[in-house]
Amino acid sequence: MSILVTGGAGYIGSHTLIELINQGYKNIISVDNYSNSDESTYARVKEITGVSVKKYAIDLTDKKSCTRLFEEEKIESIIHFAAFKSVPESVENPLAYYHNNLGSLVNILDCCREYSCNQLIFSSSCSVYGNSKELPVTEETVLSKPESPYAQTKFFGEQILMDAVKAYSNLRVIILRYFNPVGAHKTGLNGEPASETPNNLVPYITQTAAGLKEQLQIFGGNYNTKDGTCIRDYIHVSDIADAHILALSYLSKMDKQIDILNLGTGNGVSVLEVVKSFEKVNNLSLNYAIVDRRDGDVEAVYANNSKAIKLLGWYPKYGLEEMMKSAWKWQLHLAENN
């Protein structure tokens, strides 16, 4: 029986492959269409673990390919990462996001039903909380209006899963709402694939420090927060990966069909605090300027993570400094290998 990791060539998927291998899982299959990654990820996973993961190049929106995969492999559980994830891109091209993120989920659920695969972990996002008044957000916090088509795909994805478990009594699902995953593997050999136009804060910081971008723009300095900049819950990608391994065990003993867990550190950290931490641990000075607010940004969001701690026995191991150190190590690795 195998574990299927969709989007295994991507940022969080590849770190999860590494943790699965490190925890002794043997029959791991990764599926990706390389729309936001490439096959070189698997060489990095092998460099770190010594293991070549069995891989398929499949677009999960193609039902025939999904079916062929389930025909060929006996899949017991699925960790479903594969999705598009850029908020601004989703505003420009919403249909591509609905098609990809929801189409692939529906195909996978269809195959689960047809091939009696009953365990699924779904990558959701803190973006489903929208602009929440209640902080920290718990899994019970009423969801506010999603701020983007991307966030809508996560909201609808969760709804689809809630309907699916009602209809299919054998299906067990864990929805993991990640906050802001950052950092890289502690070896510095695997991290978020480089993008010429990073949307997220930490890749922008590392590219600015590396001289690939001239200046980091900090979006908004007049929020009602400790230093005027936005507050987020940054969490190390390897801690996120760890939680998936624990969630796999929890799935097999869960006494309900579906559960939702926040994956964050529980610490609200400002943009300026991230910048200062990066400068300090890497002994660098960053060129940055505070500019106008970015459309669609929420002022503050951070997790109450006590449910994941209680139910999974999970605890985030890495602090902000380790996130910043590993992110920089990965940027240096990218520079050496280009």
Nearer to ligand WQD, 74 or 226 (CB): 226
Q: How far is the CB of 77 from ligand WQD (least distance, A)?
A: 22
- Among 121, 218, 247, 248, which residue sits at the site for ligand WQD (rule: CB under 6 A)? 218
**Which residue has the closest beta carbon to ligand NAD?**
10
Q: How far is the CB of 122 from ligand NAD (least distance, A)?
A: 8
- Burial of 72 per CB tally in 10 Å (0-12, 13-18, 19+): exposed
Residue 180 binds ligand WQD, judged by CB under 6 A: yes
Nearer to ligand WQD, 25 or 288 (CB): 288
User: What are the catalytic residues?
Assistant: 150
Q: How far is the CB of 195 from ligand NAD (least distance, A)?
A: 10
Annotate 269-293 with b (16+ C-beta within 10 A) or e (fewer): bbbbbbbebbbebbeeeeebeeeee
Q: Are strands 231-232 and 269-270 parallel, antiparallel or unpaired?
A: antiparallel
- Among 78, 201, 240, 334, which residue sits at the site for ligand WQD (rule: CB under 6 A)? 201
- Among 27, 144, 217, 225, which residue sits at the site for ligand WQD (rule: CB under 6 A)? 217
Of 69-77, 103-111, 121-129, 323-331, the window that binds ligand WQD (rule: CB under 6 A) is 121-129
- Among 109, 271, 323, 324, which residue sits at the site for ligand WQD (rule: CB under 6 A)? 271
Q: Are strands 119-125 and 234-236 parallel, antiparallel or unpaired?
A: unpaired
CB count within 10 Å of CB 338 equals: 6
Of 42-50, 110-118, 199-207, 321-329, the window that binds ligand WQD (rule: CB under 6 A) is 199-207
Q: Please, which contacts does 251-257 make with residues 24 or more away whose CB atoms are closer than 8 Å?
A: 251/77, 251/119, 251/121, 251/172, 251/174, 252/119, 252/172, 254/172, 254/174, 257/165, 257/169, 257/171, 257/172, 257/173
Give contact residues for ligand NAD (rule: CB under 6 A): 7, 9-13, 31-37, 59-61, 81-85, 100, 104, 123, 125, 178, 181
- Among 52, 170, 197, 199, which residue sits at the site for ligand WQD (rule: CB under 6 A)? 199
Q: Are strands 119-125 and 172-178 parallel, antiparallel or unpaired?
A: parallel
Q: How is the chain split among helix, strand and coil, in percent rounded to 5?
A: 45, 20, 40
Q: How far is the CB of 179 from ligand NAD (least distance, A)?
A: 7
The rounded distance, in Å, linking the Cα atoms of 234 and 323 is: 8
The H or E element containing residue 276 is helix 271-282
Binding site for ligand WQD (CB under 6 A): 85, 87, 125-127, 180, 199-201, 204, 216-219, 230, 232, 271, 294, 297
